[in-house]
Amino acid sequence: MAHQWRGVIREYIDRLPFQESDPIITLGEGGTPLIEAPALAKLLDVGSVHLKFEGMNPTGSFKDRGMTTAVSKAAAHGAQAVIAASTGNTSAAAAAYAVKAGMQSVVLVPAGKISWGKLSQAVAHKAQILQVRGNFDDCLRMARDLSENYPVFLVNSVNPDRLQGQKTASFEVVDVLGDAPDLHAMPLGNAGNISAYHLGYREEVEVGRIKKLPRLFGIQAAGSAPFIQGSPVAKPETIATAIRIGNPASWDLAQEAKRDTNGGFGSVTDKEILWMHRFLSQETGVFVEPSSATGAAGLYKLAKQGELPKVDRVVVTVTGHGLKDPDWALKDESGRKIKPKKVSATAQAVAEVLGLERNK
């Protein structure tokens, strides 16, 4: 009989702080494809590139990996309600896993700054959604305060249970490649993900499944790049709303990930993000949300500047699905709306528009 992937807790239970007898709240997250992308390898002039397509998770982003562990621990503590601050994806995941657990969810999002795909998920899963007049950093400060003083359980990545789940992405890369890549890049926002990959790869070294750590690269949006500036950004701005974060919570862990792996931080403009967003769709067949193109965009920028380390095998995590924020695909390079042509309902009309000649 075909075996169904059982979600990251059951698949990696010997590597996680769980036992089979614990409550396990899962939607079957993880086990996402690692897709070879020769077009991107050519662009970067490296041996190979694989895209870790995290948009294939149940709610469409990598957040599900950490949400299964955080909400399962919340259930073990008897929590009735979870709370999360979010730029969108965390709220979608928290809302969905809370439903699975039979809990309430409360999400704090920056007013008007999350994509409608993500907002619709939180609404669909009956989260109590509050649009805060402020940015993500304000939302996180409030969520922490509320969880300390009221009966709501915090499921942001400052909760260490989140990183436990998210580290399984490293395990999956090693499972498929049989080794660590030389370099692994991803978008960098609140810095939970890069910290979790670092944790996962370190554990792979400890258990002897890999010999050395991949160089971890975190890429930010230029208008929202505290790791490049070296200090928090008071008013972060970028079209990549998922990573519109000025005061990353896992600051020290991300610095440690960079130092320990001889990695790096980079930043790219919104224009560079959208260029790579289109490239991934058109040349690799992988449709991601704009924020998720940031890792690849950062590597391309380094390559153009001659600053990409000489490496053979590269993995790039693309963190969220294109359908989360699809409006960007419907604009051309100069921002004009793309409207597919209308034709009469005949094959001949289509052939004429396409300039096709009838078969002889």
Q: Does 289 bind ligand AN7 (CB under 6 A)?
A: yes
User: Is residue 188 a contact residue for ligand AN7 (CB under 6 A)?
Assistant: yes
Contacts to ligand AN7 from residues 65-94, by CB under 6 A: 86-90
Residue choice 61, 72, 121, 261 for contact with ligand AN7 (CB under 6 A): 61
CB 212 within 8 A of CB 269: no
Q: Is 190 in the site for ligand AN7 (CB under 6 A)?
A: yes
Give the whole-angstrom CA distance, residue 296 versus residue 268.
10
Q: Which of 164, 193, 261, 267 binds ligand AN7 (CB under 6 A)?
A: 193
Position 291 contacts ligand AN7 (CB under 6 A):
yes
Query: How would DSSP label each residue in 34-70?
Result: EEE-HHHHHHHTSSEEEEEEGGGSTTSBTHHHHHHHH
Footprint on residues 249-288 left by ligand AN7 (CB under 6 A): none
- Which H or E element spans position 153? strand 153-154
Angle between helices 192-206 and 168-177 (to 10 degrees): 50
Q: Which of 243, 268, 273, 296 binds ligand AN7 (CB under 6 A)?
A: 243
Nearer to ligand AN7, 89 or 121 (CB): 89
Nearer to ligand AN7, 79 or 242 (CB): 242
Among 154, 217, 319, 322, the residue binding ligand AN7 under the rule CB under 6 A is 319
Cα–Cα distance between 215 and 299 in angstroms, integer? 12
DSSP letter assigned to residue 206: H
Among 282, 315, 254, 325, smallest CA distance to 32 is for: 315
The backbone region for 67, taken as left when phi is positive above 0, alpha when psi lies in -120 to 50, beta otherwise, is alpha
Task: CB nearer to ligand AN7: give 16 or 243.
Answer: 243
Q: Which residue, 181 or 218, has its beta carbon nearer to ligand AN7?
A: 218
Would you tell me which residues interact with ligand AN7 (CB under 6 A)?
A: 61, 63, 86-90, 157, 187-193, 242-243, 289, 291-292, 319-320
